[in-house]
Amino acid sequence: MKKILLLFFIAGVITSCKKNKPEEKFNSDSLIKLSNRESKLYIAKTLAIAVTKEPSLRAFIKNEALKQFDNDYDVFYQAAKNIVIDGKETFNEKILKYASSKDSFNVALKKLPLLTIMIPALPEFNAEIWQTSTDIPTVAVEPVDRDNKESIKGFFNQESFEIPHGLLPAKATIVIKDNERIVVNANTINNTAKANNQSVQFLNSEGLLYSFADPAFNGLKIRVNNSMSAKALLNNTKVASLNKVRNNDIMRAPSRSETYGYEHRKVDISKVQHIIDAIQSGSAWQRDNIYYGINPSTGITSGPLKRNIKESLTHFRFYDASATFDQIGKNPGDPIPIEGKIWENWTTGTYEFRITAIVNAKNGPGLETMKTIWVYPSQLFSLNYTKIQVPHGTPPSQGTYFWGPSIDGAKLFELPVPIPLENWDLENLSFGWNIYFSRYNAAQTVTEVVSQSSEFATNFELSIPLGEKIKVGAKFGASSKTTNSQSHTFSKTIGPQSFGSSSHYFDTPIWKDYTISGNTVTYNPYELNFGTVFLTIEPRLQ
């Protein structure tokens, strides 16, 4: 019965594909009134001819994408357009000469200030393995209305066709899209970057200022990875023998990250010795020992704050694989997976997630710390791909099959570099923090005001010998605690891509158990439970 339902679903996808629509008609007069979507189609149609005729253009697109200026395999048109290729023509000139009308092309280009060419990670194709001398790509245009199961428009040389909704190309493909990691105009520079005194502006072109939407997307600086590098990830996707893969009907997506199961994680002992010491100290509040060195069993009852430690996100995982993949990968209204069948949004690149810590302060407005993480879908979910025969009418250039994705589980994702949130200065910061987690989506982000009441420790006094405040006594000491309430204004993702909030407390134990083997510690941590996502936050050395 399950197989029958799956076949019906696949058949529905294929038969719903519209075969080779008549190509859109463009002229300079009508272009003035064209939408963003229509402009992308015009650019894509022109680019498809250009990449067919110009091997050096294909090589340039690959090489620029490999630079990962925004930590994805993107070529930002405004930044690349004046770069000379082969010592002759600029990037823009090489494409422009294949336009049916230069005026029309320039009008369409001006309507797309965030125009980007992306090289997607597909089952048999990605930026790292693209053989530009022989692989002529299809140019696809990112979909607009996913709620209506929209097929993806594709151009190959002068052919126009559609890639069925829910399926992935088996051939070389590049994507025309808007870049969601960049903002345009000075007034839209990310407030978080301003607050951290970080300038993320990187381009001034034709009177427009371009900035990264978040410092995490800035691949132009020395990269401090919040995720594995895109190159490292895609190197893991290289297929030993593409011919062997093409002879198989089912292909499993590469792991891209080692997992240890949901219960236990592995780490070098040098990174967590302070946590082991805190557990062995027997302190009722392990963070008393970690942040202040308090150890009642040895008679140490006071100590100054250790400022080289911060609460850090080290791992996260999703609970219900199919439902969550459906939730974070699509907009409201998209179909629910049938028998494990899913829709993978291959035209947008990596997922972006945002973690926000809302922390009350004893004095002042408190803290709102936001950090962004970018992750490939196959780092979070166990994905399989099944060959689906292309519908009748698809150009021969696209081969004989597409890939249909399915899902059979979620993975534990370990951040190669833990993301630091805040140092837990218990004298000035609240005993409990609120943690928010969401799929970052600028189109579904609103400003929200939240109020929260918090407890503060008062057992601090000035140490004359040290010249700084020290915590006196474990827990709240002999003194009484205080409470206050504060309001916070922060940017929050709404809709199905928000996973809500959970509370994180100073007295929560860090690990349930652990074992040591040589220099490796395997441990079972406490997690923050959001219902559908579980976060591991630990105090880590900076």
371 vs 375: CA distance, rounded Å: 13
Domain shared by 523 and 374, yes or no: yes
Please give the average per-residue pLDDT across 292-308, as a whole number: 91
Q: Which pLDDT score, from 0 to 100, does residue 464 have?
A: 75
Percent residues over pLDDT 70 in the chain? 71
480 shares a domain with 359? yes
Q: Which residues of 55-66 are buried (b: 16+ CB within 10 A; e: fewer)?
A: eebbebbbebbb
Q: Note the pLDDT tens digit of each residue in 382-416.
A: 888 889 998 888 888 888 899 988 887 888 999 98
User: What tens digit of pLDDT does each residue of 476-485 get?
Assistant: 776 666 666 6
Domain for residue 454, yes or no?
A: yes
pLDDT at 258: 39
What's the confidence (pLDDT) of residue 335?
37
Q: Does 162 fall in a domain?
A: yes
pLDDT in tens, 132-150: 999 999 999 998 765 456 7
CA 291 to chain centre: 31
Range of the domain at 118: 18-180
Domain boundary among 115, 148, 180: 180
**Same domain, yes or no: 175 and 295:** no
Q: Examine residue 523 and state whether it is found in any structural domain, yes or no.
A: yes
Residue 346: what pLDDT? Answer: 85
**195 domain residue, yes or no:** no
Name, in order, each residue with C-beta under 8 angstroms of 247's C-beta and a sequence gap of 6 or more. none
The span from the first CA to the last CA of the chain, in angstroms, equals 54
pTM of the model: 0.77
**pLDDT by residue (tens digit) across 32-53?**
567 888 999 999 999 999 999 9
Q: What is the mean pLDDT of the chain?
A: 78
> Which pLDDT score, from 0 to 100, does residue 6 have?
40
* Buried b or exposed e, range 473-510, using 16+ CB within 10 angstroms: bbbbbeeeeeeeebebebbbbeebbbbebbebebeeeb
C-alpha to C-alpha distance for 448 and 282, rounded to whole angstroms: 41
441 pLDDT tier (thresholds 50, 70, 90): low
pLDDT-derived band of residue 524, with 50, 70 and 90 as boundaries?
very high
Residue 508 within a domain? yes
Q: Please indicate, yes or no, whether residues 302 and 411 belong to a single structural domain of this protein.
A: yes
pLDDT at 259 over 70: no
With respect to residue 200, please indicate whether it lies within any of the assigned structural domains: no
Residue-wise pLDDT for 260-289, tens only, equals: 456 689 999 999 999 999 999 988 899 999
**Ramachandran quadrant class, 319 (left: phi over 0; alpha: psi -120 to 50; beta: rest):** alpha
Measured distance CA(40)–CA(111) in Å, rounded: 9
The amino acid sitting at 110 is K
pLDDT tens digits along 317-340: 987 776 677 666 554 333 344 444
What is the domain count for the chain? 2
Q: What is the pLDDT of residue 312?
A: 97
From 180, 196, 213, the end of a domain falls on 180
Please check whether residues 149 and 23 belong to one and the same domain: yes
Quickly state the pLDDT bin for 290 (edges 50, 70, 90). Answer: very high
Between CA 480 and CA 396 the distance in angstroms is 77
Rounded distance between C-alpha atoms, residue 286 and residue 276, angstroms? 10
**344 part of a folded domain:** yes
Q: How far is CA 112 from CA 160, 161, 177, 313, 399, in A?
A: 21, 23, 9, 36, 31
Alpha carbons 132 and 538: distance in angstroms, whole number: 45
Q: Which of 156, 180, 204 is the last residue of a domain?
A: 180
Q: Buried b / exposed e across 435-444, counting CB within 10 Å, b at 16+? A: bbbbbbbeeb
Asked whether residue 470 is domain-assigned, the answer is yes
State how far the Cα of 495 lies from the Cα of 507, in Å rounded to an integer: 32
Quick one: CA dihedral 416, 420, 426, 429, positive or negative? negative
